[in-house]
A and B are shown apart, each in its own frame.
Chain A
Amino acid sequence: MVKVADLKVGQVIKDEFDQIDRKLLKSYAKWSGDTNPIHTNDIVAEKAGLKGIIAHGLFSYGFLTKLFEDFLEHGKYGKLIETDVTMRGMVRCGDLLVTEGKITKIEGKRVYLDVTQTTFTYVDIKDKDGNIVKQFEAGERGYISDKDIERGLVKTKEVDEGTLTYRERIATPGTAIIELND
């Protein structure tokens, strides 16, 4: 159950999605009507200088509204009133998309949040000798730029198979307002 009295400024609502692939983007293109081929055809995307298809900006945005609809149990405890976001970074197939809402203010039944969608783009996994033991799409297609490295967005962490290199980047910052019933 979600009630205003139970919510606190600073509280975070979060969701993760790691199933972004070409099939899903084609399905989104079909049912959204946004059939720009840079989202579904690698050859067209490469010609546009994108190195491979990119997700529709509004596709990843859909996970933001879903975050709040799930949180409010689809209208049982309230409704989503507003979202306001900036499209800042491209989302790619294979990305882990983390969607978060952090409560900044509560006024009556209205709850205001800062929202972010962050992508984790996996590049490769190397063994202790520096040999690549697993390469991801971003590594194969060269999605990571020098600018990403300069900005400190490219990081490493130890995983079972070795050292994972990945990029962590905010794709969609913004705000949201929800209104609770009680």
Chain B
Amino acid sequence: MKKNAQFLIENLGGKEIPGSHSLTVRYKTLVNFAKVFGITDPKYVGSEEEGIVACRAFANHYLIKSLYTLLLGMKLEQDGKERDFILNLGKLLHASQKYNWDGCVDIKPGDRLTAKGKWGKVWLVESNMIFFAQLIVDVKNQNDEMVCKATVSAAVRPGGY
């Protein structure tokens, strides 16, 4: 277990996550997502003709999809054998997250968002053998404008890395 953690620490920290994830933002998804939180302001749940933007919490929608795609699709070679980053998805926990929208533009229906990521700090807490990995993800729209900068920390329990 410790050997696997050491391998990940040596091979992930600061490196780019290969590939990217893109999705198109649908009007219906924006509105229904906002309604989960009881949001009634027409800026977020108004008609398609009037034009709406995404509420801030919508970052959860595109980031969770991007993270699953980027992380689950990532392959590493350890001791000559190919392995996934996560060996058991059931051991994966969400530890923390930072969203920054400074200088970012709003998201509108029809936008095509693309997420690209790199690994930040990677470490093991030996007292409980929980492995932590920080992912830094930039999300841009079809005009190459930033819509959100996110730093997400994933915690992986023993047996998952």
User: In whole angstroms, how far apart are the Cα atoms of A31 and B31 in the complex?
Assistant: 9
Q: Contact check, B33 vs A66: say whether CB atoms are below 8 A apart.
A: no
CB of A81 closer than 8 Å to a CB of B = yes
Q: Which of B55-77 contact A (CB under 8 A)?
A: 55-57, 60-61, 64-65
For residue B100, which residues in chain A have a CB less than 8 angstroms away from its CB? Answer: 81-82
A86 on the B face (CB < 8 A): yes
Interface string of A47-58 (1 = CB under 8 A from B): 010000000011
The answer to whether B43 has its CB under 8 Å from any CB of chain A is: yes
Q: What sequence of 0s and 1s flags, for each residue 139-157 of chain A, a beta carbon within 8 Å of any chain B beta carbon?
A: 0000000000000000000
Which of A6-14, A72-80, A113-121, A129-137 lines the interface with chain B?
A72-80
**Residues A87 and B98 in contact in the complex (CB < 8 Å), given A32-B60, A62-B36, A74-B44:** no
The yes or no answer to B127 lying at the interface (CB within 8 A) is no
Are A86 and B56 closer than 8 Å at their CB atoms? no
Give CA–CA (A111, B55) in the complex, Å: 20
**CB-CB < 8 A to B39: which residues of A?**
66, 69
Q: How far is the CA of A87 from the CA of B92 in the complex (A)?
A: 13
Q: Give the interface size bracket for B toward A.
A: 20 to 34
Is A43's beta carbon under 8 Å from chain B? no
Chain A proximity mask over B94-110: 1 for CB below 8 Å, otherwise 0 = 11111111100000000
B90: chain A residues within 8 A (beta carbon): 48
A58 and B32 contacting across the interface, CB-CB below 8 Å: no
The binding surface of chain B is classed by DSSP as: mixed
A84 interfacial by beta-carbon distance below 8 Å = yes
Q: What is the minimal beta-carbon distance from A53 to any residue of chain B, in angstroms?
A: 15
Q: Flag whether A127 is at the interface (Cβ < 8 A).
A: no
Does A165 have its Cβ within 8 Å of any Cβ on chain B? no
- Residues in A neighbouring B37, C-beta threshold 8 A: 62-63, 66
Instruction: Indicate if the CB atoms of B97 and A61 lie closer than 8 Å.
Output: yes
Query: Quick one: which of A33, A66, A82 contacts B64, CB cutoff 8 A?
Result: A33
Q: Are B97 and A85 in contact (CB under 8 A)?
A: yes
Contacts of A28 in B (CB 8 A): 36
Chain A residues with CB below 8 A from B43, complex form = 74-75
Out of B29, B93, B99, B101, name the residue touching A31 (CB < 8 Å): B29
Q: Does A65 contact B (CB under 8 A)?
A: yes
Query: In the complex, are the beta carbons of B36 and A83 less than 8 A apart?
Result: no
A-B complex: 7 closest residue pairs judged by Cβ atoms: A62-B57, A65-B56, A84-B98, A58-B60, A31-B33, A86-B96, A65-B57
Q: Which residues of A contact B (CB under 8 A)?
A: 17, 19, 24, 27-28, 30-34, 48, 57-59, 61-63, 65-66, 68-69, 74-75, 79-87, 174
| 8 A-B pairs in the complex with CB atoms less than 8 angstroms apart | A27-B36, A28-B36, A31-B33, A58-B97, A66-B38, A82-B99, A86-B96, A87-B95
